[in-house]
Amino acid sequence: MLYLVGLGLSDETDITVKGLEIAKTASRVYLEAYTSILLVDQAVLESYYGRSVTIADREMVESNSDEILRDADKEDVAFLVVGDPFGATTHTDLVLRARELGIPVRSVPNASIMSGIGAAGLQLYNFGQTVSMVFFTEGWRPSSFYDRVKENRDIGLHTLVLLDIKVKEQSLENMARGRLIYEPPRYMTVGQCASQMLEVEEDRKEGVYGPDSLAIGAARVGGRTEKFVAGTLKELCEQDEVLGSPLHSLVLLGKRTHELEHDFVREFAVDRDNWDRIWKADYQGQ
Amino acid sequence: MLYLVGLGLSDETDITVKGLEIAKTASRVYLEAYTSILLVDQAVLESYYGRSVTIADREMVESNSDEILRDADKEDVAFLVVGDPFGATTHTDLVLRARELGIPVRSVPNASIMSGIGAAGLQLYNFGQTVSMVFFTEGWRPSSFYDRVKENRDIGLHTLVLLDIKVKEQSLENMARGRLIYEPPRYMTVGQCASQMLEVEEDRKEGVYGPDSLAIGAARVGGRTEKFVAGTLKELCEQDEVLGSPLHSLVLLGKRTHELEHDFVREFAVDRDNWDRIWKADYQGQ
């Protein structure tokens, strides 16, 4: 059996009891470690499960999935995924490959950022499609997210923006020389995301949102040091220190809001008077 | 401290290790049992936690929350919620009340149907807003869900439809006579939901979907007997026996689909030829 086991969002104790049993007893355990990360290290997980864990990087999962699936028709293999196993496309591929090989698959769900973000106080019913934000470079500033945010905003819905992480990256020079030297991991912050969003609005000028649009910055959702900061996109450009260490996410508010959402989120506002003023003018009763 | 603890979707072992520790050691434990249910009884949970658990019905949570919060500034109170604690509005109220009373709150996330539905093979990124379907009665057939499905469909997105459950309901007669006798619980099936959706389309005639629109029926998501059936809405009117016992949910497909979604979901189709034909004609590359 191939078990896809969700690890939840934060530390080693966010695994479910059912998932932990599988992680302890499976023949082999892989940890998918490139679409998201836990806030604890591999060593912590290994000590918690009482066994070694193999890191499965993108290359392994995408090009060498048969190694992961080896003998899984006869024994149990656990593939651990941060959050919920079905958050990312890659794992769909793995399941399809297992099916081709006649390997039974079972998944153990867990918290995903897509539901965990509810802790910020916005109603999950009022979220539209989720978008991703990648690190912009000089020549590459993809703005397809902007069209999707526009679709959500046009019908009043909130948008969860998932932020890029870069792990096991090679510099161009090291790649050219074939040196397996990796750059330190990078995690996009709420401030970087808010700035990039405002840059794209300045380019596209369709008025999908602006510096005074309300948003929530989220850090370490589901963890003991979970932190939310609410404010305008402009305000959120400058809140990275308050938010602290990774992972960060951002929610851009839609205008179809509920009074309870106002009351709940206001607690996190950088500037409550400003929050109330903009809410009243642009969001309330829209 | 007030702990809001997610129980996940299926049985007693879907709680996280962190959540279990809280359920075992808190001074008092409440179980919210009216917006969703686990697939196991209260007695199983009590034996698993090694303690008694108080059922918190809607009346208690909405009208008597101060009893739940009593002394939570000095001791730990656990409020257990099926799925993730922030799936339903009611719990937002409870947190706001705790804040008023100066009681610290912490939540322990878990799988929600809103992310768990990813196991059906549709990309979570491609879901629009979630809607709810209530049991229609002679005089009450609310169709606001239809407008929201339309908004999602207009931009090509999938829609998760959450199905009504009725627990601790009184008959009108018993209510009138003040008799605290409750009807047996009722859980809407995929077949009932699909029929009601088609009824509303026949009334409203805006062509938001029709008998040949593709959908997925889901039963016991995240459980050992999880079951998905894919087909047209018309086909899904007749699949309740295949799907089996509660809880059920339904996903209406949007037209912005990915080939991987086709390959993954096809496995669950009532009639694969029909599925392929409609997919190719109406969904692929839209």
Distance of CA A130 to the CA centre of its chain: 10
Chain B 5-24, residues with CB within 8 Å of chain A CB atoms: 6, 8-9, 11-18, 20-21
Q: What does DSSP assign to residue A13? A: G
Chain B hits for A119, CB-CB cut-off 8 Å, are 85-86, 107, 109
Residue of A nearest to B223 (CA): A108
* Residue B132 in this model has a pLDDT that exceeds 90: yes
**Could you count the other beta carbons within 10 Å of the beta carbon of residue B286?**
10
Q: What is the pLDDT averaged over residues B152-178?
A: 90
pLDDT computed for residue B4 by the predictor: 96
- Judged against a pLDDT cut of 80, whether residue B286 lies above it is answered with no
Written as six digits, the tokens of A123 are: 């109603």
Runs of H (alpha helix) within chain B: 17-25, 42-49, 58-63, 65-69, 89-100, 113-116, 144-154, 172-176, 190-204, 233-236, 240-243, 259-266, 272-278
The ipTM estimated for the assembled molecules is: 0.93
The contacts of residue A267 (CB under 8 Å, 6+ apart) are A121, B99
> Mind spelling out the 3-state secondary structure of B70-123?
CCCCCCCEEEEECECCCCCHHHHHHHHHHHHCCCCEEEECCCCHHHHHHHHCCC
State the binding site of B: 9, 84, 87, 112-113, 163, 221, 248
Asked if B274 is an interface residue toward chain A (Cβ–Cβ < 8 A), one would say no
| Secondary structure letter of residue A280 according to DSSP | I
Mean local confidence (pLDDT), B17-39: 91
Give A-chain residues touching B129 at CB under 8 angstroms.
125-128, 155, 157
CA angle A222, A24, A40 (to 5 degrees): 35
Report the range of poorest mean pLDDT among A124-128, A213-217, B31-35, B269-273: B31-35
Region of residue B172 (phi > 0: left; psi between -120 and 50: alpha; otherwise: beta): alpha
Q: Is the pLDDT score of B212 beyond 70?
A: yes
Which domains are assigned to chain B?
Answer: 2-111 (3.40.1010.10), 114-283 (3.30.950.10)
Distance CA B69, CA B79 (A): 10
A-B CB pairs within 8 A amount to 174
Chain A nearest C-alpha distance from B240 (Å): 22
**Nearest CB to B119; choose among A83, A109, A261:** A109
- For chain A, 286 residues long, the average pLDDT of each consecutive 10-residue run is 96 97 97 82 94 91 91 97 83 92 96 94 94 94 97 97 88 84 90 98 97 98 95 98 96 94 95 97 86
Share of chain B above pLDDT 90, in %: 80
pLDDT value at B89 more than 80: no
pLDDT at B118 over 80: yes
Question: Is residue B130 predicted with pLDDT exceeding 90?
Answer: yes
Beta bridge partners of A186: A166
* Yes or no, beta carbons of A116 and B157 under 8 Å apart: no
Confidence class for position B157, pLDDT limits 50, 70, 90: very high
Locate B145 and state its tokens. Answer: 């869900």
Of A143, A153, A225, A241, residue with least CA distance to A191: A241
Return mean pLDDT, chain B: 93
Strand B159-163 with B54-56, pairing: unpaired
pLDDT score of B6 more than 80: yes
Q: Which residues of chain B have a CB within 8 Å of the CB of A155?
A: 129, 151, 155
pLDDT value of residue B88: 67
Residue B284 has pLDDT above 70, yes or no: yes
Contact check, Cβ <8 Å, B111/A107: no
- Parallel/antiparallel/unpaired status of strands A54-56 and A28-32: parallel
**Residue B90: is its pLDDT beyond 80?**
no
Which H or E run contains A106? strand A105-108
pLDDT at B172: 82
Q: Given an 8 Å threshold on Cβ–Cβ distance, is B128 in contact with A260?
A: no
Predicted pLDDT of residue B41: 87
CB contact A90 to B (< 8 Å): no
- Binned at pLDDT 50, 70 and 90, residue B36 comes out as confident
The secondary element (H helix, E strand) that includes residue A19 is: helix A17-25
- Is B128 in CB contact (< 8 Å) with chain A? yes
CB nearest to B124's CB, from A16, A114, A118: A114
